Amino acid sequence: MRQPKTIWRRIFVEKTQAVLDPMKRTYLILSLVMVASFLPGRLSAQEKGTGLGVIFGEPTGISAKFWTDQKSAFDLGVAWSFNGAGFLHVHADYLVHFPDVIKSEIRLPLYVGIGARIRFNDPVRVGVRVPVGIAWWVSDVPLDVFLEVVPILDLTPSTDFNMNGGVGVRYFFE
């Protein structure tokens, strides 16, 4: 008897496997890190500067983060969703970080935010996002690894509730 698929497996595993096989995924991540290491500018800590990377999940694509101060940042994403026939997804969020909630030797800040999402399918949908997540600010390396869950309330063309989520990595430079 076949077990029902969990949401985790459907969103995070099958969707990313449909896009990139494991070898291509590894090459993509390594390529992004190598390219970022040659970009002009000094390396910086994860709580300042600009980060660029990838997010895998629903949707899967490019993620950028721009810090405004030590606890707040703007997060942007351009990604492809594999729901149905697939569509382009663009979002922008304002995030507030809480770096001292989890007491640990490694840096694991929690964050929450609010933003907007445009989903370019037929019909185009516009909604409000509320990302909630946890990041790992890697010591001595300008990387953050993050996991987030994002409830979305679509406002147009009709009201609808959706969920996004993903795992990502960003490389930071100043």
Residue-wise pLDDT for 36-53, tens only, equals: 444 444 334 567 899 999
60-87 pLDDT, tens digit per residue, is: 999 999 999 999 999 999 999 988 889 9
3-state SS of 32-101?
A: HHHHHHHCCCCECCCCCCEEEEEEEEECEEEEEEEECCCCEEEEEEEEEECCCCCEEEEEEEEEEEECCC
* Domain ranges within the chain, ordered by starting residue: 7-173
On the question of pLDDT at 19 being above 80, the answer is: no
Asked: is 7-173 a CATH 3.30.1490.20 domain? The reply is no
In this prediction the pTM is 0.74
